[in-house]
Amino acid sequence: MTENYHFEVLIIGSGTAGLSLALQLADHCKVAVISKDQLEESASLYAQGGISVVLDQCDSIESHINDTILAGAGLCDPYCVRYTVEHARENIEWLIEQGVSFTKDGLTSETYHLTQEGGHSHRRIIHSADATGREVETTLLSKVKQHANISLFPFHIGIDLITSDSQVGHQQENQCLGSYVLDIKSDTVQTFTAPITVMATGGAGKVYLYTSNPDVSTGDGIAMGWRAGCKVANMEFVQFHPTCLYHPKAKSFLISEALRGEGAKLLLADGKPFMDKFHPQAELAPRDVVARAIDHEMKRLGDDCVYLDISHKSPAFIEQHFPTIHKRCLEFGIDMTREPIPVVPAAHYTCGGLDVDMQGRTNVNGLYAIGETSHTGLHGANRMASNSILECLVFGQAAANHIKTQLPLDKQTPAIPAWDESRVKPAKEAIAISHNWDELRRFMWDYVGIVRTDGRLHKAKLRLQLLQQEIAEYYSQHHISSDLLELRNIADVAELIIDSALQRKESRGLHYTLDYPDTDNSQPAKNTLISGRS
């Protein structure tokens, strides 16, 4: 049975960004949190390394700012970077107040253990062993479940945003009024209305064949926002994490950058290190440099992987600092205390997204975006390690503060048309969806990956156009499913990545093209902006 829900704030996504926002609003208004899987299933859950914050006396706010801007290759918004870094400590303290347990220097120590990762000039990564995301996500979720003002809707996936332009007739300015949502378990479409809607659906790593992201990372919020009229920025900058476990049965398992922060070396099959040939910081170079170096060596030698070796550290050290990775590797017959780990790069983080201001507002009234779904200006052309959860927290806080200034929110909404399924029929088979899904992710990996050319991008665009025609036809004729919605979304995100990459006639940060291998320093760097499709 189709149901209609109304809340003051609708949050689509249940990662760190969405849950932190919900908790900060719940004492003030009624909030709904929608998750297309189990509530805890998000990229946040699998974050291993930690959260960057200045805590050490030898470190400084200015150093964290400078490191972030340097990694961002000329495209960071300096004001956004400073705001985020300056608000880091209070957000870490807020997490501790919620019950998050971070690793300390010793059993009796009151100081937190800090590690160092690529691009950072100091130890400033606070962490919970090598499972920081799981600790943060599960702690916040336990608090959210206890709050009477937060309603939770697992196994619900957004279909499209409801806007004044598309659903209720044009008004002076486009206004988001909520979302049509598929209840996956009951297979019914429900209408959620709210004066404030927040996209917190994470990134789009599943656009690529190989990714460190969980299956839920299909760019839903970016695609839905773009279709509703949101501007999108810098989608060409897709971060490939240099080190994911290479094993036929090891799906999407990340080997944290913290290993390299603790001295792990990248080796070729013959045991020779190679990173010193590519960057003065060797293994601690920014991620784009390390990923390209690995990709170069694999292609040069025809190897399937390279190796990451931390076996020179004591077994006790490895098991204390990296228990999750150690246990997972053992499951695949790899003892990292004795031998190197086979690794390959994989799509990891979407630096672009829905373009927002410092309060998380998009250009569509009533619609916010936070976390990996958004483009704030923090990451520029390359995200520095462990700045991602920090961005979720800081902009979750900023959005919450801005939403609170609008309370009490108007509970009246225009009449919303019911979801129309009168002209569609059940699909007889799902082979078309699975085939198109596989084809899209493969040509995105082959043609729009770590190293690009205009020729490869145009090939990808032509193939995508054919797929989008098939998807649109299938979508218009058949009853929707979560697989179909995700396919539609990754196709839209692929279009945004390809078109953004074609616009940038230079190599910068994460976007490296053989046709324009140099960075254009003849003029100030510009963001790549694409207007909303609505």
Q: Compute the average pLDDT of residues 451-458.
A: 95
Burial letters for 128-158: b for 16+ Cβ neighbours within 10 Å, e otherwise? bbbbbbbbbbebbbebbeeeeebebbbbbbb
Indicate the helix (H) or strand (E) that contains 157: strand 156-163
Q: Looking at residue 23, what is its pLDDT?
A: 97
pLDDT, one tens digit per residue, over 366-387 is 999 999 999 999 999 999 888 9
pLDDT-derived band at 170 (thresholds 50, 70, 90) equals low
287 assigned to active site:
yes
Find the catalytic residue in 134, 227, 260, 287: 287
Q: Which residue has the higher pLDDT, 168 or 457?
A: 457
pLDDT-derived band at 119 (thresholds 50, 70, 90) equals confident
Q: Looking at residue 420, what is its pLDDT?
A: 77
- Which residue ranges make up each domain of the chain? 4-236+351-404, 243-346, 431-517
What is the percentage of the chain residues whose pLDDT exceeds 90? Answer: 71
CATH fold of 431-517 reads Methane Monooxygenase Hydroxylase; Chain G, domain 1 (1.20.58)
Q: Which residue has the higher pLDDT, 118 or 527?
A: 527
pLDDT above 70 for 428:
no
Query: Taking the model in full, what pTM does it have?
Result: 0.90
pLDDT, one tens digit per residue, over 258-282 is 899 899 999 999 999 999 999 999 9
CA–CA separation, 371 vs 357, rounded Å?
Answer: 13
77: β partners: none
CATH architecture of the domain 243-346 equals Alpha-Beta Complex (3.90)
Query: Tokens in use for 37?
Result: 């899987």
Cα-to-chain-centroid distance, residue 186: 28
pLDDT, one tens digit per residue, over 488-517 is 999 999 999 999 999 999 999 999 999 999
Indicate the helix (H) or strand (E) that contains 242: strand 238-245
Amino acid at 311: S
Q: Which residue has the higher pLDDT, 44 or 58?
A: 58
CATH superfamily to which 4-236+351-404 belongs: FAD/NAD(P)-binding domain (3.50.50.60)
Q: Looking at residue 517, what is its pLDDT?
A: 95
Vertex 474 angle, CA 41 and 437, to 5°:
45
pLDDT, one tens digit per residue, over 73-95 is 999 999 999 999 999 999 999 99
CA–CA separation, 135 vs 130, rounded Å?
Answer: 10
Cα-to-chain-centroid distance, residue 22: 19
Q: Compute the average pLDDT of residues 415-430.
A: 75
Name the burial class of residue 363, with classes exposed (0-12), middle (13-18) and buried (19+) by CB atoms within 10 angstroms of its CB.
middle
pLDDT above 70 for 107:
no
pLDDT-derived band at 115 (thresholds 50, 70, 90) equals confident
pLDDT-derived band at 432 (thresholds 50, 70, 90) equals confident
Residue 192 has phi, psi (to 5 degrees) of -110, 120
pLDDT above 60 for 171:
no
CA–CA separation, 512 vs 448, rounded Å?
Answer: 10
